[in-house]
Structure 1
Amino acid sequence: MMNYKKYKKFETVKLKDRTWPDNEITKAPIWCSVDLRDGNQALITPMNIEEKIEMFQMLVNMGFKEIEVGFPSSSQIEYDFLRALIDRHLIPDDVTVQVLTQAREHLIRRTFESLKGLKKAIVHIYNSTSVLQRDVVFGMDKEQIKQIAVEGTRLVKSLTSEFDGEVILEYSPESFTGTEMDYAVEICDAVMDEWEAAENKKVIINLPSTVEMNTPNVYADQIEYCCRHFKDRRRVIVSVHPHNDRGCGVASTELALLAGADRVEGTLFGNGERTGNVDIINVAMNMFTHGIDPKLNMSDMNAIKGVYERVTKMEVEPRHPYAGQLVFTAFSGSHQDAINKGMRAYHERNTGIWEVPYLPIDPADLNRQYEPIVRINSQSGKGGVAFVMETTYGFRLPKAMQQDFSKSIQKITETEGEITPERIYQVFDHEYLKKETPYTFVRYRIVDHHDATCEHPIRVEITLIDHGEEKTIVGHGNGPIDSVKNALDQNGYIETELIDYQEHALASGSSAKAAAYVQLKETTSSICEFGAGVDPNINIASIKAIFSAMNRIDEKMKSR
């Protein structure tokens, strides 16, 4: 038995008049990528300098304007990476790099050495403030912990006066979620007072969920509490840095934005210590699906994923929202049918508004293809098979024919498992388009005798191969299809009744082919079969479909 009594419930925030539940996210926050610091330090094999540069350049291309590039006072490679960015002039003018350091004198001084040559930088200092860490790690009281933050701020301020570029201060009360809220506000205000923060000299106050301890609504309460109780909210950029220990990083971030946060620190695909940081791609794409410009370019998700996987040696989970290999894939028959109908309605309505069941986003917006959306296995149904045939090969099968064809596919998947689109088409080709025995269409000649007294104005001559022998038969009717069917009925072939006929173009342009579908019922039995034909000439496509259906009826009759 799991001993749940060894754990205690974390405290909530007493905020009875909270306002965040009534708010809406209407714009993107300031994004800060911490892939090169928080994400990198959590890798089994940390990135080398060139890999870091590749990641940095991708982040710039995605549109990040603030990028934490490392902890330059912690190791030589971290220091050398920042120097490489500066010395090679790789930092665009509209991008601000951020460096992290503990609020300790020798680390802060080393950090400023690494910044030489920069026009602008965010210097991010932190110290841990939680009840637990004050007790078991530092053995200090509240005043002593506050003094660490204030003295660190004082040193950054002093060194800034000697620095040629602009320095923006960021302060994090690390382990914020385990800190008393009134004390968190007290220590942050003390930092801002020391810095002499003002509306035109704002301090970034980063309130991290260093370890996710509670439900997302509690984090939102903590953020709103601080936003309300800072001495002067106008001198603060409120930043959040959520981790994912309870699996709620995205929800915590979204609720924190509702609660007043201005800025989000996170990583691509949620990389980071333990269960990771909040996944910025997930949060940004959630905004995108609500019609909000996320201010990040994720239009080639596979390319982003490729760089990430190459430099981090980590794999993106197949079910990862928006980027996972299977995230736009449906195996369920009912889901496939709904997607198929939704896609058709989307194109027919042409409103420009994406509304497709089970697909909250158009895969094309991420440069993802439609082919893998529906994958066929034994759980799939007619809708999935129809979707593959239409989106991959252009065949819009009649509804009754979808059911008929899906039975053939079902038999294969029950023994072989998942079936590819190529294999589905091969089965369709064999079962319908190449169904040419015992009767094979060769050619036709049609004559129109329309006049007022002619009951059957269309005369057609059909040349066919009948059990290996070439023959020509003649039929009359109201149109080409009627004439061909009558020719077969009246010349000793299987007598049938036309149940359904449909046709459509397979492609546009001068080389377009037509697809025709015919459903025939043998008049003396209950046998009813579909046939299909393809040809640039719609009449020939229709005749091929009739022969296909007739051959399938013949095959069914012989199998009885």
Structure 2
Amino acid sequence: MKVRSNPRAPWKSLRGDLSEAPEWVPVDLRHNPVMPADPTTLNRRRRVFRQLVAAGCKEIAVGQPALSQADFSFVRTLLREDLIPDHVTLSVFTPAHRDRIRRTFESIAGLDRAVVHLSATTPLALGNELHIDHGTLLGLVRAAGEDMMRCAGGRAGVRFQYSVGGFGPAEADFTLEVCDSMTFLWEASTDRPVILNFPATASTTAPDAYAQRINFVNHHLTQRPHVILSADPRNDQGTASACAELALSAGAQRVEGRLLGDASRTDDADLAALATSLAEQGIDPKIDVPGAGSGAVLPGVMSRRRGSTRPVQIPS
């Protein structure tokens, strides 16, 4: 078999430089339809939120309040009952629609800190299907970003996140153009960095290709010091952990995934498995997971303890 070498592979020079854990952002409460134990009741949601806080998570995705009344009510309950510690920031998800953006900001009214997460697609995922040119797509994304700025009204504690929908197959140059445009629009700064999230909604590329795309953005962003790069791989091909670790080597500083939920082959990245991997490399994961000396239960066991009838699964 012929040995192949890729001199552009980012981890060739960066793999050994990984010395600290990323920011972990659990999405257990955002992806309710497939979450173990189905936290449809308010009490269950409270319990899951407390578990995530106890694990040491500093940013927690709590749902899509513009699309779900249950999510909207849950966010308001957390605020009303003063359940959000000072060191924890809520993240709320919104599509790129004006009415949805307004509703999302209504849900966080009164919060001192929040991340508003905008998801908007890229050309190969939408433009090529609907024959929308790059300029039109960029205008649609920027219009949503401007709506978010108006709704935020200058609140210093509200930060912005942009997810590059269809990141895997998207054109690298145009992805960079959109990311640069959003960071300038949102006036990214050291005190108020913009989060750029790169989801692999359906894995269409190998982990090394995913990492190389993040590496490209990492090295070419105009305002790189004022941006947090976030990995958000999926596990439909069983490669989420590999994608995430290589993305960290390529410059990502943040990872979205599940912490308490069962791992499955169509699910988010398993944060417990990733954090355990870092701990085995001698890196403090900074969250309370098995393998980090915490004595916490394995992720799959959580669903059984909350009364789920689903079988316990071993994290992949």
Structure 1 counterpart of 2:3: none
Aligned residue pairs, count: 303
182 and 271 in structure 1: CA distance in 2 versus 1, 3 angstrom threshold: farther
**What secondary structure sits across from 1:189 in the alignment?**
helix
1:177 Cα offset (Å): 0.6
Kept in 1, the 8 Å contact 2:168–2:204? The answer is yes
Match of 1:78 among 71, 75, 86: 71
CA-to-aligned-CA distance 1:511-558 (integer Å, 9 cap, x gap) = xxxxxxxxxxxxxxxxxxxxxxxxxxxxxxxxxxxxxxxxxxxxxxxx
CA separation of 1:232 and 1:282: change in aligned 2, threshold 3 A = same
Change (3 A) 1:272 1:116: farther
CA distance, structure 2, for counterparts of residue 34 and residue 115 of structure 1: 17
Residues 213 and 245, structure 1, Cα contact 8 Å, conserved in 2 = no
Residues 33 and 64 in structure 1, CA contact (< 8 A), matched pair in contact too: yes
Q: Which residue is equivalent to 1:195?
A: 186
Alignment partner for residue 68 of structure 1, among 37, 48, 61?
61
Partner of 1:212: 203
- The higher relative CO (CA closer than 8 Å, separation ≥ 6) is in 2
What whole-Å deviation, never above 9, does each CA across 1:430-458 have from its counterpart, x for those lacking one? xxxxxxxxxxxxxxxxxxxxxxxxxxxxx
- The match for 1:48 is 41
Q: Give 3-state SS (helix, strand or coil) of 1:78's partner.
A: helix
1:33 pairs with one of 26, 29, 32:
26
Q: Which residue of 1 aligns with 2:283?
A: 292
Corresponding residue for residue 166 of structure 2: 175
For structure 1, the residue ranges without an aligned partner over 5 or more in a row are 1-14, 322-560
Measure how far apart 1:274 and its partner are.
6.7
Larger radius of gyration: 1
Q: Bigger shift: 227-236 or 308-317?
A: 308-317
Secondary structure at the counterpart of residue 57 of structure 2: coil
Provide the alpha-carbon RMSD of the alignment.
Answer: 2.2
Match of 2:96 in 1: 103
Work out which of the residue numbers 126, 148, 152 in structure 1 matches 2:144. 152
Match of 1:111, as an amino acid? T
Q: Which runs of 5+ in 2 are unaligned?
A: 1-5
Q: 2: distance between equivalents of 1:188 and 1:27? A: 25
* Pairwise CA distance, 1:19: 3.5
Q: CA deviation at 1:311?
A: 6.5
Contact 1:46–1:312, Cα closer than 8 Å, also in 2:
no
What are the residue-to-residue correspondences of 1:478-517 with 2, within 5 Å? Answer: none
After TM superposition, the runs of 4+ consecutive aligned structure 1 residues lying more than 6 A away are none
Partner of 1:90: 83
Q: TM-score, with normalisation over the residues of structure 1?
A: 0.51
Q: Is the 8 A contact 2:263 2:270 kept in 1?
A: no
Q: 1:342-364: CA deviations, max 9, x gaps? A: xxxxxxxxxxxxxxxxxxxxxxx
CA pair 69-220 structure 1, distance change in 2 beyond 3 A: same
Q: CA deviation at 1:258?
A: 0.4
Tell me the equivalent position of 1:257: 248
Equivalent in the alignment of 1:423: none
Q: State percent identity of aligned pairs.
A: 34
Match of 2:105 in 1: 112
Residues 1:316 and 2:316 are matched in the alignment: no
Distance 1:267 1:147 in 2: 33
- Structure 2 letter corresponding to 1:316: V
